[in-house]
Each structure stands twice: as structure tokens, then as C-alpha cells.
Copies of this chain bind each other. A is one copy, B any other.
Amino acid sequence: MNTPANPASRWPDLAGRIEGETHILPIRVYFEDTDFTGLVYHANFLKFCERGRSDFIRLLGVDHQGLANPKEGEPALFVVRRIEIDYLRPARIDEVLEVVTRCVELGGATLTLAQEVRRGETVLARAKVSVVLVSGSGKPQRLGHLVRGALQRFVN
């Protein structure tokens, strides 16, 4: 098998898609996501949401390696400050879910996102997540031009 040097180019949808003001990431439910009740373990919905946030900013041109090892300026990373999540319906093994992410607030260092995990048109979980951009030493940093410019147009 002849694999290209950059596997990302072979999988166009791997980071999901931006449609209008939202980002949509497909998620397959695997063994690792479920628990003995037969349903997806509640904390794993937070993992799904985090994947959605990471791929949203990735499609905007920002990634975690780039933030942590910037060409100039201080290293930075996103840290979660607060989550509210309502679990409305369960998910099960083999299902394909979609994480739908939307920016609802863009502060100096803080970003608030509304996220839903859906199966088709059914909303399974609804979350509001606040993240902060901090420096390596933990100090809040102003969201850089790159991040701010990229996200600005998505804030309602």
C-alpha cells in the first residue's frame, strides 16, 4: 500500500465541516465510549464536545501544536473554565452522532460555545462551554489576532 506523506489529505472530512455559522463533526460510538448500562458514558460527551471545538478552530487555521509552539510570542493553550451540560437522550454503540458547535460569546481571553450532540435531528445533549486562552504559566492571554479574526464572524 502506498500511503502519502500527509494522511490528512486522504480524508477530507476528518475535521468535520463548517456550515453557515456552525461547525459539524461526525462521531462514531465505539466500545470505549459506552459503559455497562449499554449507553454512552456521560463524561464521554465532553470528549465529543472537545473534539468538536478542536476541529472547529482547526478549520479556522488554528491548532494546539501551533498555539503551544508559536513562531513568535508566548506559548498558549485553551483551558476549560466552565461547562453546563444537559443529557436529554442516550446514545449507543455503532451510532453516528454529530457534534454541532457555535460561538456565542467572544471576550478578551474567554470564548463561550454552544454545543449539541445530535443523532440525526434528535438532540442528545446540549452544552455551554467556556474556555480561556492561557499562557504556559496559566495567565489568561488576549485571544490573538489569528484566533479572534477567525472566530469573529461566527459570533452571533
Q: Chain A interface (Cβ within 8 Å of chain B)?
A: 1, 3-8, 10-15, 19-20, 22, 24, 26, 28, 30-32, 34-39, 41-44, 46-47, 50-51, 54-55, 58, 63-65, 68, 77, 79-87, 90, 92-94, 96-98, 100, 118-121, 138
Tell me, rounded to whole Å, the shortest Cβ–Cβ distance linking A102 to chain B. Answer: 10
Report Cα–Cα, A154/B29, bound state, in Å.
25
- A35 engages B31 (CB within 8 Å): yes
Per DSSP, chain A at the interface is: mixed
State how many copies of this chain the complex holds. 4
- The one of B10, B35, B84, B119 in contact with A36, judged by C-beta atoms closer than 8 angstroms, is B35
Chain B residues, CB < 8 A from A81: 86-87
Q: Which residue of B lies closest to A24 (CB)?
A: B1
22 A/B residue pairs, CB under 8 Å, sorted by A: A1-B19, A1-B20, A1-B24, A5-B120, A6-B96, A7-B96, A8-B96, A14-B28, A28-B51, A30-B54, A31-B36, A32-B41, A34-B36, A35-B36, A36-B39, A36-B68, A36-B92, A36-B93, A42-B79, A43-B50, A65-B94, A83-B85
- B93 engages A82 (CB within 8 Å): no
Tell me, rounded to whole Å, the shortest Cβ–Cβ distance linking A144 to chain B. Answer: 17
